[in-house]
Structure 1
Amino acid sequence: MRALLRFVLNVIWLVLAGLPLALAYAVAGLICFVLVITIPWGIASFRIAGYVLWPFGRTAVQRPTAGTASAVGNVIWIVVAGIWLAIGHVVSAVALAVTIIGIPLAIAELKIIPITLTPLGRQIVPSDTVFASYGSLRV
């Protein structure tokens, strides 16, 4: 039953919010790949694009090996692209919240904003993995 619910939510999400937001992340990733020094941000952007396309049943967790470089990279990302993508999530959440069916999707939209602002040093894992091994994630 849970898998069916996730599937239905993901399909609705894909149609209403996933495609435009994933496209925005893909454009940001392509720009990062053109500017060779920003390739790590491009990789993170594509990772988030995949997550934004099909988010239900997955979550983002801090990577235990992330260090100072990820923190500095996240600050640069926030200034260059993160704030604009976060604004896109807020606008999309407001549009989704207009309907009753869209309210849970709007809440999910707002939960993605921290990942949008700090993509480096995170990994996307199945939700069941996180809760099953809370405190000792080994993926």
Structure 2
Amino acid sequence: MRLIMRLIGNIIWLVFGGILVFLEYLASGFALCITIIGIPFGIQAFKLAFLALWPFGSTVSEAPQSAGCLNTLMNIIWLCIGGIWIALTHIIFGILFCITIIGIPFGKQHFKMAGLALTPFGKRID
């Protein structure tokens, strides 16, 4: 039953904007990967893209091979360059979706994506 509910939730998510969010993250990931310096940030954009594609049933957790100071430094750079705006966008959409009872599951997914968009380095999507 849970598998069917996840599948239905993901299909509704895709139809009502999830595919557009996925394509935006994918395009920004490719744009960031043009330069060597941007490759780590592009990989994080791809991580966000695949979470945006199929969010129901996936969880965000700490990566076991956390690099410590490097992850912290990269998260600070990510946050300053645009992570805060991405996270705020997901928080606003999460609040808007949570206004209605039907939209609460979609709002929760936006809140999950906001957490990952804030500090993506050192995180893993299961």
SS, match of residue 31 in structure 1: helix
TM-score by length of 1: 0.80
Higher mean Cα deviation, 85-94 or 1-10?
Answer: 85-94
In structure 2, the residue matched to 1:118 is 119
Deviations 1:19-63 (A, max 9, x none): 232223223212211232120110111022011110111111111
Higher mean Cα deviation, 5-14 or 83-92?
Answer: 83-92
Matched-pair contact (CA < 8 Å) for 1:28–1:81: no
In structure 1, the residue matched to 2:65 is 65
Matched-pair contact (CA < 8 Å) for 1:24–1:85: no
Amino acid in structure 1 at the alignment position of 2:73: V
* Corresponding pairs, count: 125
**Distance in 1 of aligned mates of 2:32 and 2:56:** 27
4+ residue stretches of structure 1 with deviation over 3 A? none
Question: In the TM superposition, what is the alpha-carbon distance from 1:70 to its structure 2 partner?
Answer: 0.9
In structure 2, the residue matched to 1:34 is 34
| CA RMSD between the two structures | 1.6
Deviations 1:114-139 (A, max 9, x none): 111111111111xxxxxxxxxxxxxx
Where structure 1 has 5 or more consecutive residues not aligned to the other structure, the ranges are: 126-139
**Distance in 2 of aligned mates of 1:108 and 1:51:** 9
**Distance in 1 of aligned mates of 2:91 and 2:54:** 18
Amino acid in structure 2 at the alignment position of 1:123: R
Question: In the TM superposition, what is the alpha-carbon distance from 1:98 to its structure 2 partner?
Answer: 4.1
SS, match of residue 38 in structure 2: helix
In structure 1, the residue matched to 2:9 is 9
Q: Per the alignment, do residues 7 and 124 of structure 1 end up closer, same or farther by CA in structure 2, a change over 3 Å counting?
A: same
Identity, % of aligned pairs? 38
Where structure 2 has 5 or more consecutive residues not aligned to the other structure, the ranges are: none
